[in-house]
Structure 1
Amino acid sequence: MPSALTASQIREAFLKFFEERGHRRVASSSLVPANDPTLLFTNAGMVQFKDVFTGREKRDYSRATTSQKCVRAGGKHNDLDNVGYTARHHTFFEMLGNFSFGDYFKSDAIAYGWEFVTKTLGLDKERLAVTVFNGEGGIPWDEEAFELWAKQGVPRERILKLGYKDNFWAMGDTGPCGPCSEIHYHQGNDIPCAEEAAGKKCQGVACDCDRWLEIWNLVFMQFERKEKDAPLIPLPKPSIDTGAGLERIASVVQGKRSNYETDLFQNILATVSELCGKPYTQEGGASMRVVADHSRAAAFLISDGVQPSNEGRGYVLRRIMRRAIRHGTRLGLDDVFFFKVVDRVIELMGDAYPELRESRTFVLEVCRHEEGSFRQTLNRGLKLIDEELAKLQKTGGKELSGDVVFLLHGTYGFPWDLTQIIAGERGFSVDMKRFEDLLQQEADRNDPFKTSDKAIGELYLKLVEKLGPTEFLGYEGEGHEGEGSIRAIVKNGVEMAEATRGDRVELVLDRTPFYGESGGQVGDTGRIVGHGGKSVAQVKDAQRPVSGLVVHSVEVTEGSFKVGDMVQTGVDNERRKSIRANHSATHLLHKALKLVLGEHVKQAGSVVAPDYLRFDFSHFSAATPEQLEQVEDLVNGWIRDNASAETRVMKLEDAKKSGAVAMFGEKYGETVRVVTVHPESTELCGGTHVRRSGDIGLFKIASESSVASGIRRIVALTGVGALQYVREQEHELRRAAELLKTTPKELSKRVEATQKRVKELERKVEEVSVKAQTAGSKDLLDQARDVNGMKVLATRVDSADDNVLRGMADQLRDRIRSGVVAIGGEKDGRAIILVAATKDVVAKGINAGALVREMAKEVGGKGGGKADMAQAGGPDAAKLPAALDKLYELVKGVGAA
């Protein structure tokens, strides 16, 4: 093969190499880990196989190979601050990997690794070295791996022993672990080394310099640690987990010293260069590298369903995007640009990752929207930073307060690292300790990492390992009755042998028709009966706490149940029918939204209950009433078609190729259920559905609203629920028509006429009120004082209606002819002040807006307006007399000036 392979060719060569050696090629999993609340993002190739390694999940293959998309930009694995300033750090990267689940072990893994890098990639053997675990903490050194590398022809002097930190891998304080072995490539001794610069010796492979570059890590998972610091126990089936960063491999194969010089980045950097009109240079291109790297992370995160927000994963994405936009402004990109770079990423990587192209419209819209929003934030934040730094300059301070950084971060959504960069550019440091303390206080009040994934209880994990998955009977026939055996009884997290009358417990059966809550569909309710009808348990809910296990939350109302009992199970079938109708309706709704609003629409969450359905979807503006009517018409048309629903079980890849829509956040196995409710709608779904689209009956949207930036929510009803809703609306319509003495058809005209009449009456009442209040205006004008040759009147009135006060101020100003009038009043405990000035005194320097602002301070408020008319308000109405008296003093000051 040619030496200068492209990154795409390297990726394909790797996957093909292991496919030819019995490995299943498995698609990359989502960047949002399914059912793993311990991780912010997928950060390694083994994440999707975590349960396979621990034995909690079984698959029909024991060898796999992947090119896994990964992100390290939050939580424990956070490389964000280094991105753009080093040759290797990235937020998004691809991890090539081969895995053995109790199949082959060290001998084959080492042989495969050496063959691929030396023969397939053609790397110079003389520039390669490997490392093995040297033995620490009572764990023997990995002599086996040492000898296996030597057997491959690696010179013994280039098989180096490193310690626990470098060459021992663990999933955590407990769980699978084992020694690892790394392959390193020598880039050249001309690369600078900090150790040598300090007069010391370069540590070679163990050194932090880039002379030796780690390109592949082979983990030999052969032990398990049951408790923290407990002795290691050998695993019955040792496994292999390897990871080779595509970006690093590409840089070595293509003879580059930086990942950014490879074809993975050069085309993206060229786009950035073209947009800003500046050439890219390795030395001065840090901002271009930031934009290039972050555009990849944004494209992949958004296509996997993450959206910018102020918490959890969404906050990390927002921080990545805003950091890129900030660096874009440093390049002179003052208009919205980021979406153009992201579009280039989609164009370049869409073949390898089709989800990018499928989500293109939505991804670009999210980027446009976020940048537009941030540019407003940026302007506000920069103004505040300017003000704070100006204060520091005056006082001689050198450190920006952590409180200011926190205010910018929390109130304005301004990333703290940008504040730090801007302050540094102007010669100021930042009190990061104070900021971090405030951040931690906020975290203690409100956990910033929120996720819909359910925490996985160790008890349930042990149960599914011991008992195996629960067989679900709900797909067959009517699917609401069955027979099963009680395999476990749980009360307050503890296994029990028996449950008796009055107990509230959880029952685990070997077979059940009860659907455990999943994919937005709520759990079933019903009854479990045993001992010939003598024992009865009311099922309040059914949950799926871990994959494959259905847990029934019950109250024993008669008799007792023991582990091993055979029982009859029955789901509340009327409730189930309503749930099925609502679930099938969500599929049709999803399709209709795509047709009416655009293909960018993606499901962002759902609730399928017996009495309603809730559907969250990606879209950046409210759907118009006309659009919602179109959606309803489409769905109801498909319902009237009464098409036969079809369910097929097929391989995941085949399902995707057939055009079936996968739902974000769902974890799919190798085989999936593909549901076609109507020929227009085909989706991957494990829920229960109608047999014909006509079974839904009627579909009616009850509301459409916003739940987050770029996320809309529709609440809808079907069947009898929809009919009841329509009737309730009709009843209200008839009642309103009766009150206005008209018919429902003529109601809108009558309402318009009534509104017009009400406004007319309000105007007349206002006129009467103004006349009444100003009837004694001549007496009021007599109270006007002469201040510097100007007439000035400040008075309080009983009515504090804004319009009445404004009318009075206008009339008094007209009658005073030359001067200033202030009128004050009280409304709901608050003070209201209006100031009006004639044109001639405005020309002399009197400004009503300036006057009312100063008067407002007396009542604890604020105000403003034009030079001839201004208004203010404040909470302290008791200070109104003082505020009005202040007018004379203020006018006197202006005249004196």
Structure 2
Amino acid sequence: MTSSAPVTTNELRSTFLTYFERNGHRIVPSASLVPQNDPTLLFTNAGMVPFKNVFTGQETRPYNRATTAQKVVRAGGKHNDLDNVGYTARHLTFFEMMGNFSFGDYFKADAIEFAWTLLTRDFGIPKEKLLATVYAEDEEAAELWRRIAGLPDEKIIRIATSDNFWRMGDTGPCGPCSEIFYDHGPDVWGGPPGSPDEDGDRFVEIWNLVFMQYFEDPPGTRTPLPRPSIDTGMGLERFAAVMQGKRDVYDTDTLRALVLGCGDLLNTDPDGALRASHRVVADHLRSSAFLIADGVMPSKDGRGYVLRRIMRRAMRHLQRLGATEPTFYRLLPKLTQQMGAAYPELVQHQTLIAETMRGEEERFTALLERGMSLLNDETDRLGEGEALAGDVAFKLYDTFGFPLDLTQDALREQGRTVDVAGFETAMAEQRQRARAAWVGSGDTAMETVWFDARDRFGASEFLGYKTEKSDAEVLLVAHGNEILSEVGPGRDVAILLNQTPFYAESGGQVGDHGKLSANGLMIEVTDTQKRNGDMIVHYGRVIEGTLRPGMAVTAQVDHMRRQATRGHHSATHLLHEALRRALGTHVAQKGSLNAPDRLRFDISQPRPITPEELAAVEAEVNTRIRENTAVETRIMTPEAAVAEGAMALFGEKYGDEVRVVSMGAGDDERGAYSIELCGGTHVGRTGEIGPFRIVSESGVSAGVRRIEAVSGLAAERMAKEDERRLADMAALLRTTVADAPARLAVLLEERRTLEKQVSELQRRLATGEGAAGAENINGVTFAGRDLGEVSPRELKSMAEAVAKQIGSGVVALVSNAEGKGSVVIAVTPDLLDRFNAVDLVRAASAVMGGKGGGGRPDMAQAGGPNADADAVFAALRGMIAG
């Protein structure tokens, strides 16, 4: 390699991208780790995932050549490298996949020439260090490697297996691969790919070129694609190891900096006996930070559960390294220093990432101590090398939140394994119990109707941005999973129209209500939903007439309901911006509901929002509403919208064109107060929202807070209801509303004074007679008092006072406050060898119809529905008399 070749990971990334940009490729920023175009994937696990729909023809882009550095996570589902991370030289949960893509533009010859030139010229890799594999039947690729790269036949290795033939799925685009390998030299053990020693470390794959040239049908037949494409992938970390003369990805500059940072923070040797732990922390720090930055939060299921597994595995290893307090988040600045320039989301969301990490580590530390105690108790009972029972591993998972791999990781230190089959059996049994307790709604069965309908009729045309009323043709009528040719009054139906003003529930906004009508026909629509992606389906009931497919109807949205709903939706946009300005730019939408009667808004926020902050946010939103500025909607590309400052909300899928909603007066930097990508319906001017009022703020889950609010008529109704309650309260207090707070404060103070006086009088009554009010039973002083409605909370202190007065004996105090009986019994120290207060109070409880009691030998308390003090005292006299 030449001395001028790029060496650092950041230089390698930049060189790759700029090389392809010079060669006509669009540099496309990394997509989110949460796939927006493939619901079958947990995380983005390959560089081509963001372009999947482009390759299949479902989506078009304004470019036909692209290059990316794509964030990738493989820590769940089929692509799961979690167990090996930290213990091998190459496994990572997070890595960067460099790639260049051609969408029907160039093909094999250009792809091979681009790769060869970049590697040998720009990266300076000696030609003799490289070799290539091709699919055994792909003679064209072999010839191109000979002609373009000058590789001899012995360095063009034919692979006959599916390892060198790529498929997107059982059907779809597919084609042969060509992999480029780097030869570390004869000093390293291993053979070339396809040889018996191919698992050695001498030859390492650095780049894979996929030639998409066929379409595979279900029977396995392949037909040539009219426009063949290119998809390549180069793991940046593995390539950096080659370029930096390393054999281990953890020795490359970026990961090594994180490993050393962990060692420095905990004052431990990063290359010592706990070397694997440092590496686990370094890798998992990257996965955790990038997932949180892309909107994933730790939770009990789905993506959040995988994130929690990753974080807790890292935290377990931090404890092995000696961490005694939250430490994970303290490594974040080191990561930002290494990767923040290439991935600005790390800097933008640094506060949220750090707070999420810290909160999760605090929670996990509390669970870990109890879980490890159980694990140690169980392993102490096992023989040498004996596996941990699966049901125990499941208990750790179910009770203490220990993922299976965390338990396996802890046992690895002892040379033990887990009975995974037993764990899965216990898990299956739990799922079966949950399934038996669940009652399905039937919605899943209904879905099958709409698959064929989508093929027949295509997407629905939505007219609701411009109108609340339109003519339409009925395309399909269904009930459940049955398609109907006609339906009469009283039947519930699902209706598909060719066009509609009804908004289907999405983006947090509820579906419209309204009516469909024609001559002699009336249908009440009570919900509108999307089916099979972009079909708008109206759910309702036939009120009169007969409905048939092919009929012409008038679709009319319930105006008042739509108006209230869009008012709440527009208020949510203003609320979002006000929260970001008040609390910080880490605030991001995590969920919302915009209904006619209220709005609910969930945000990423690591701590509760103070009343003062809420008041300021509410005032800010109302200020923006009163400005009564026009709400503007523009159609733009997502890139242009974000460049203008629009917020693209996590979890929303955006096409080539998006609706950008702007509202509120802007400032020098932005043209409007709030700018968001949004497909919902909105008011024409902010003043139409009406008064805005925050009702409550609460926690939903770790790092997520929920705000509930009302606006417009709903806010007015709430204000009127509050006024009525205040008037009623003032009337009861016999004062005006204005003077009610002061009058109430006086009454509360008077009540506190009276309560103190009553308590003191009760104490005097209870203790005032002292020994004079007691009786002697076989030489034992017994003081039994019926105290009426004295609070049970006062009985113990009163019993102590009476016991001191009598000096020696048994005290029994009974009350009947709050509609039930209570009894407290005290035994003086000199009589503890003869009487136990717990035994006495249980006998008293039985008389009162209770179920026992408890306490100490000298003081015990019980209760029961029957407060017959005479019967209690009679029972106690009998026990004392013996």
User: Shared topology, TM-score over 0.5?
Assistant: yes
Q: Which whole-Å deviations, capped at 9, do the CAs of 1:714-761 have from their partners, x for residues lacking one?
A: 111111111001111111222222223333333334444444555566
Alpha-carbon separation, structure 1, partners of 2:42 and 2:177: 25
Aligned AA for 1:380? R
Tell me: CA distance 1:850–1:171, structure 2 relative to 1, closer, same or farther (3 Å). farther
Q: After the TM superposition, which residues 667-746 of structure 1 pair with which residues of structure 2 at under 5 Å, given as runs?
A: 667-678=653-664, 679=666, 680-746=673-739
Could you tell me how far 1:276 is from its partner in structure 2?
1.4
CA contact (8 A) 2:35 2:43 kept: yes
Aligned AA for 2:156? I
Give the SS at the match of 2:101: strand
Q: Paired residue for 2:235? A: 245
Give the SS at the match of 1:550: strand
Q: Which whole-Å deviations, capped at 9, do the CAs of 1:139-186 have from their partners, x for residues lacking one?
A: xx4444444444433333333333545223334445444443322222
Aligned AA for 2:276? A
Tell me: CA distance 1:536–1:85, structure 2 relative to 1, closer, same or farther (3 Å). same
Q: Paired residue for 2:312? A: 322
CA contact (8 A) 2:104 2:228 kept: yes
Q: Paired residue for 1:56? A: 58
Could you tell me how far 1:832 is from its partner in structure 2?
8.0
1:782 paired with 2:772, answer: no
Give the SS at the match of 2:681: coil
Could you tell me how far 1:275 is from its partner in structure 2?
0.6
Could you tell me how far 1:382 is from its partner in structure 2?
3.2
Q: Paired residue for 2:331? A: 341
CA contact (8 A) 2:177 2:210 kept: yes
Q: Paired residue for 1:160? A: 157
The counterpart of 2:47, out of the listed 18, 30, 45, is 45
1:521 paired with 2:509, answer: yes
Q: Paired residue for 1:295? A: 285
Could you tell me how far 1:566 is from its partner in structure 2?
5.9
1:91 paired with 2:62, answer: no
Structure 2 unaligned spans of 5+: 436-442, 667-672
Q: Which whole-Å deviations, capped at 9, do the CAs of 1:292-329 have from their partners, x for residues lacking one?
A: 11111111111111111222221211121111112112
Could you tell me how far 1:499 is from its partner in structure 2?
6.9
Q: Paired residue for 1:599? A: 585
Alpha-carbon separation, structure 1, partners of 2:117 and 2:494: 53
Give the SS at the match of 1:643: coil
CA contact (8 A) 1:298 1:342 kept: no
Give the SS at the match of 1:214: strand
Tell me: CA distance 1:803–1:13, structure 2 relative to 1, closer, same or farther (3 Å). same
Alpha-carbon separation, structure 2, partners of 1:504 and 1:175: 39
Q: After the TM superposition, which residues 366-405 of structure 1 pair with which residues of structure 2 at under 5 Å, given as runs?
A: 366-389=356-379, 392=381, 400-405=388-393
1:209 paired with 2:200, answer: yes
The counterpart of 2:573, out of the listed 587, 598, 604, is 587
Tell me: CA distance 1:847–1:379, structure 2 relative to 1, closer, same or farther (3 Å). farther
Could you tell me how far 1:222 is from its partner in structure 2?
4.4
Tell me: CA distance 1:415–1:68, structure 2 relative to 1, closer, same or farther (3 Å). same
CA contact (8 A) 1:617 1:711 kept: yes
Tell me: CA distance 1:20–1:344, structure 2 relative to 1, closer, same or farther (3 Å). same
Aligned AA for 1:89? H
Q: Paired residue for 1:628? A: 614
Give the SS at the match of 2:738: helix
Alpha-carbon separation, structure 1, partners of 2:821 and 2:853: 11
Could you tell me how far 1:215 is from its partner in structure 2?
2.2
Q: Which whole-Å deviations, capped at 9, do the CAs of 1:809-828 have from their partners, x for residues lacking one?
A: 31443145257878899999
Could you tell me how far 1:543 is from its partner in structure 2?
2.6
The counterpart of 1:310, out of the listed 272, 276, 300, is 300
Q: After the TM superposition, which residues 837-852 of structure 1 pair with which residues of structure 2 at under 5 Å, given as runs?
A: none
Alpha-carbon separation, structure 1, partners of 2:5 and 2:837: 79
The counterpart of 1:619, out of the listed 581, 585, 605, is 605
Superposition CA RMSD, Å = 4.6
1:439 paired with 2:446, answer: no
Q: Which whole-Å deviations, capped at 9, do the CAs of 1:505-564 have from their partners, x for residues lacking one?
A: 54445543332222111222334456xx56555443333335544333454556667766
Q: Paired residue for 2:354? A: 364
Tell me: CA distance 1:264–1:568, structure 2 relative to 1, closer, same or farther (3 Å). farther
Tell me: CA distance 1:38–1:396, structure 2 relative to 1, closer, same or farther (3 Å). closer
Q: Paired residue for 1:574? A: 560
Q: Which whole-Å deviations, capped at 9, do the CAs of 1:652-695 have from their partners, x for residues lacking one?
A: 22222222222111112233222111132122212221221111
Tell me: CA distance 1:556–1:176, structure 2 relative to 1, closer, same or farther (3 Å). farther
The counterpart of 2:183, out of the listed 159, 183, 186, is 186
Tell me: CA distance 1:300–1:848, structure 2 relative to 1, closer, same or farther (3 Å). farther
Alpha-carbon separation, structure 2, partners of 1:688 and 1:463: 26
Alpha-carbon separation, structure 1, partners of 2:67 and 2:473: 39
Tell me: CA distance 1:68–1:491, structure 2 relative to 1, closer, same or farther (3 Å). farther
Alpha-carbon separation, structure 2, partners of 1:868 and 1:425: 50
Alpha-carbon separation, structure 1, partners of 2:76 and 2:617: 39
Give the SS at the match of 1:67: strand
Alpha-carbon separation, structure 2, partners of 1:631 and 1:168: 57
Alpha-carbon separation, structure 2, partners of 1:811 and 1:18: 89
Could you tell me how far 1:606 is from its partner in structure 2?
0.4
CA contact (8 A) 2:813 2:823 kept: yes
Could you tell me how far 1:92 is from its partner in structure 2?
1.2
The counterpart of 2:527, out of the listed 541, 548, 566, is 541
1:274 paired with 2:264, answer: yes
Q: Paired residue for 1:71? A: 73
Tell me: CA distance 1:404–1:641, structure 2 relative to 1, closer, same or farther (3 Å). same
Tell me: CA distance 1:777–1:47, structure 2 relative to 1, closer, same or farther (3 Å). farther
Alpha-carbon separation, structure 1, partners of 2:49 and 2:425: 32
Tell me: CA distance 1:105–1:484, structure 2 relative to 1, closer, same or farther (3 Å). farther
CA contact (8 A) 2:771 2:806 kept: no
Aligned AA for 2:614? L
Alpha-carbon separation, structure 2, partners of 1:37 and 1:99: 22
Q: TM-score, normalised by structure 1?
A: 0.83
Q: Percent identity?
A: 47
Could you tell me how far 1:32 is from its partner in structure 2?
1.8
Q: Paired residue for 2:669? A: none
Tell me: CA distance 1:205–1:428, structure 2 relative to 1, closer, same or farther (3 Å). closer
Give the SS at the match of 1:745: coil
1:813 paired with 2:803, answer: yes
Q: Which whole-Å deviations, capped at 9, do the CAs of 1:377-435 have from their partners, x for residues lacking one?
A: 22333343444455x27x99955444443333222223444434444545665444333
The counterpart of 1:663, out of the listed 649, 663, 666, is 649
CA contact (8 A) 1:769 1:804 kept: no
Tell me: CA distance 1:763–1:260, structure 2 relative to 1, closer, same or farther (3 Å). same
Aligned AA for 1:692? R
Across the two proteins, how many residue pairs are aligned to each other?
855
Could you tell me how far 1:615 is from its partner in structure 2?
0.4
CA contact (8 A) 2:356 2:702 kept: no
Give the SS at the match of 1:782: strand
